[in-house]
Amino acid sequence: MTNPLIQAYRKPGMYIALPSGGKYYNTKPKLSVDGELAIYSMTARDELVSKTPDALFNGEATFSLIQSCAPDIGDPQEMPVNDLIVVLIAIRMATYGDSIDVDVKCPECDHTNQLSVSTNALLSTIKENSASDKVTLDNKFVIKCKPYNLADRTKLQIQRIKQQKLIQNLGDAALTDEERQIRFGETFIEIADLTVSLIANAILQVQPPEGETVEDKLLILEWLKSITKTDYDQIRLCVEGLSDNGVDTKFAAECIECKHTWNTNIDLDIANFFAG
């Protein structure tokens, strides 16, 4: 039963168009008649969760935030990554208003400037992703792809954090040079294997020039590990093109100390995006 108090209290703060157009979800999001997604402002619990280091590390904060503020997305883990930044910007705007304060270091004098960026201006740059989801290799294999999803992004993010920590720990004086080399090699093999697995997960099907179309993920992964780097790179570029959110995060900055002007990018990540 739907709680009538919540239904009467929480209303959408805004509606947004998704770069994916609502495609590539196993459970299709509920969109308005105009094809837009309802966005709600954050609750007090959402704010607390978004500032919990462990939740940020394993992706739970992001999943929880989307479930609360974009409830018409059935399973946040299925969300294509090109929709993620758009939804986060919209949640930020619905909660805190149009302005984001960012710290930017001047490349001329190294002074750290606190500048304001308009979330509405960021959202106005978004366009539906029009990249092709098919690749035809020289040997006539046709591969149909989809963007990385949020679960894929989280796995890669966790692996990279582990890698950074391992590299930091390599400075431990108790380790021998041989132990450092072994650990260094192992972590790069792990991230290489994970990267290939994520590409395989983003392949919906492989159609050989003769024979049946293959959709089995294990068979696709095995095949992907055996193909040439040239063919692999074609597939990777297709997946990355589909995953591009198309948000123009560049903005003009001016240093308050030396008056130098330059173009820079805002880093839109949940770890530093919802500070208020």
What is the domain partition of the chain in residue ranges? 4-128+246-273
99-105/37-39 β-pairing: unpaired
How far apart, in whole angstroms, are the C-alpha atoms of residue 189 and residue 195? Answer: 10
Q: What is the dihedral of CA 118, 119, 121, 123, to 10 degrees?
A: 170
pLDDT tier for residue 55 given thresholds of 50, 70 and 90? low
- Grade residue 236 by pLDDT with cuts at 50, 70 and 90: very high
C-alpha–C-alpha distance, residues 172 and 167, integer Å? 10
Environment class of 157 (CB within 10 Å of its CB; exposed 0-12, middle 13-18, buried 19+):
middle
CA distance 31 to 22: 8
Return the percentage of the chain with pLDDT > 70, whole number. 83
Q: For 243-264, what is each residue's pLDDT tens digit? A: 987 788 888 888 989 999 988 8
49 falls in which pLDDT band (50, 70, 90)?
confident
Confidence check: pLDDT of 15 > 90: yes
Q: Is the pLDDT of residue 214 over 80?
A: yes
Q: Is the pLDDT of residue 5 over 70?
A: no
125-129, 181-185, 237-241, 264-268: least confidently modelled range: 181-185
Torsion of CA 274, 48, 8, 22, to 10 degrees: 50
